[in-house]
Structure 1
């Protein structure tokens, strides 16, 4: 993993004691089981609730959204088994490309570069038919309860990870639309948050 010339912010997560004998989360766009699993949690801007849970093999992130939010996600990840940071995208489709090479991102909805992902998955935005707009027929999306993503440590490695994310289409209490950045931008700089992932026994 390359050393990045940016500040690191350790995730200020609080842990709760598990209350049920659940094994792992299901990637279904709901965060309700994370508290029962004793997952770490933190409240972000616009009352987005950030949950983190991991075992020896996988790590899960769940971002519980305010009502009437959509939560398209752009997540940058640097991890021990990556030769360079990757950009992971979650909307109606999933995508992945080198963070430093945005020209390698899909440039249209029908690009074959969509779904070229490995070692992670997420719940996508929910398409519910179509609607007529000034620009023609467009897909209609339902608001989501949460954006949830699962990572394989076999692909990304165990140890110290670095992430930063942009969560788009968040409906604020002011009635306006917001993008939630984590960690928040510091001027023109985007710091990284550090996650210490468990190492498999032995």
Structure 2
């Protein structure tokens, strides 16, 4: 009887102890909803009016996300230099995703039908979603639907730790007079220390 009481107390103590441990915050999900970054308390970096950039990392991944005004597409080319890359890598995110090195002669897709799309390794982003076909004219055209934000998750296992240099070209941001783009940073490269 006495040993059962001791065992019950020990199990209760372990349970209480495990409940009191600090949990790691839930990282962002690449779903086109930037509120994950906001809930984590990530400070926004203004890209332009109506568009903010968010950066977050944990032990395994780096996340980058940006929001934009309604009716924007927010396509992006993210250039990345890291300790494990032999050259500057371009990560392209639009209605298709792909990566290629920027050195001359490196293979890259030259049309929408290329087999070189969807070759991303160690990263993923929410692309501009296909959403049926517009059949209102004699030449049907693909329709697209977009999320409220563009997000990308990048693996530290592939890209390493230490100093990462980034440069982003962001396009198709809706303004009152049409579409525009912006870059981050405005000049040069953004240095991110990846732990």
Q: TM-score range by the shorter chain?
A: 0.7 to 0.9
TM-score (norm 2): 0.82
Distance change (3 Å), C-alpha of 1:145 and 1:131 = same
Instruction: Find the counterpart in structure 1 of residue 124 from structure 2.
Output: 121
Structure 1 residue 135: Cα displacement: 9.4
**TM-score, normalization by structure 1:** 0.79
The structure having more radius of gyration, on CA atoms, is 2
Q: Per-residue deviation at 1:118? A: 0.6
Q: How many corresponding residue pairs? A: 173
Deviating beyond 3 angstroms after TM superposition, the runs of 4 or more aligned structure 1 residues are 132-136
Q: Is the contact made by 1:73 and 1:89 (CA closer than 8 Å) also made in structure 2?
A: yes
In structure 1, stretches of 5+ residues that fail to align are 1-19, 186-190
User: Aligned-pair distance for 1:152?
Assistant: 0.2
1:59-113: per-residue Cα shift (whole Å, max 9, x none)?
A: 0001111111101111100011111110100111110000223762211111110
Give secondary structure in 2 for the equivalent of 1:44: strand
Matched, 1:69 2:66: no
Which residue of structure 2 aligns with residue 192 of structure 1?
189
Find the aligned partners of 1:136 and 1:54 in 2 and give their Cα distance. Answer: 45
The answer for unaligned runs of 5 or more in structure 2 is 1-22
Structure 1 residues 95 and 83: alpha-carbon distance in aligned structure 2, compared to 1, 3 A threshold: same
